[in-house]
Amino acid sequence: MPTTDEAVAQAALDTQTGPTSPTAADSGASASASFRSTEQYSSAGLTTDTARVDALARALLGAVHQVISDHEVTYPEFQAAKKWLMDVGEGGEWPLFLDVFVEHAVEEVAARKQTGTVGTILGPYYLPGQVQLTTPATLPARPDEAGTPLAFRGQVTDTTGAPVPGAVLDIWQADEQGYYSGFAPDIPAGNLRGVVTADVEGRFEIRTIQPAPYQVPTDGPTGALISAAGWHPWRPAHLHLLVSAPGRRTVTTQLYFAGGEYLDSDVAEAVKPELVLDPTDVGDGSREVTYDFVLEDA
Instruction: Report the partner that residue 169 touches, choosing among ligand DHB, Fe ion, none (CB closer than 5 to 8 A by kind).
Output: none
The angle that helices 221-228 and 24-36 make with each other, rounded to 10 degrees, is 120
Sole window of 122-130, 138-146, 264-272, 280-288 interacting with Fe ion (rule: CB under 5 A): 122-130
| Closest CA relative to residue 251, chosen from 197, 203, 296 | 296
Which of the residues 123 through 142 are near ligand DHB (CB under 6 A)?
123-125
Q: Applying CB under 6 A, does 35 fall inside the site for ligand DHB?
A: no
Count of residues binding Fe ion (CB under 5 A)? 1
Q: Applying CB under 5 A, does 123 fall inside the site for Fe ion?
A: yes
Which of the residues 43 through 102 are near ligand DHB (CB under 6 A)?
96, 99-100
CB of 216 to ligand DHB, least distance (A): 5
Which of the residues 155 through 214 are near ligand DHB (CB under 6 A)?
214
CB of 296 to Fe ion, least distance (A): 24
Sole window of 57-65, 123-131, 149-157, 224-232 interacting with Fe ion (rule: CB under 5 A): 123-131
Sole window of 45-53, 121-129, 138-146, 187-195 interacting with Fe ion (rule: CB under 5 A): 121-129
Q: CA torsion sign, 195 to 197 to 202 to 203?
A: negative
**Residue at shortest CB range from ligand DHB:** 123
Long-range contact set of residues 268-272: C-beta below 8 Å, sequence gap at least 24: 268/99, 268/100, 268/101, 268/103, 268/104, 268/121, 268/123, 268/235, 269/104, 270/103, 270/104, 270/107, 270/120, 270/121, 270/123, 270/235, 271/120, 271/236, 272/118, 272/120
CB of 83 to ligand DHB, least distance (A): 21
Geometric angle at alpha carbon 151, from 184 and 155, rounded to 5°: 110
Sole window of 2-10, 34-42, 118-126, 289-297 interacting with ligand DHB (rule: CB under 6 A): 118-126
Of the CA atoms within 13 Å of residue 83, those in its CB half-sphere come to 9
Q: Applying CB under 6 A, does 268 fall inside the site for ligand DHB?
A: yes
> Is the Cβ–Cβ distance between 174 and 212 less than 8 Å?
yes
Instruction: Report the partner that residue 124 touches, choosing among Fe ion, ligand DHB, none (CB closer than 5 to 8 A by kind).
Output: ligand DHB
Sole window of 51-59, 120-128, 204-212, 280-288 interacting with Fe ion (rule: CB under 5 A): 120-128
Strands (E) located in 120-250: 132-134, 137-138, 149-158, 168-173, 193-197, 203-209, 214-215, 234-235, 238-244
Which residues would be at the binding site for ligand DHB (CB under 6 A)? 96, 99-100, 121, 123-125, 214, 216, 235, 268
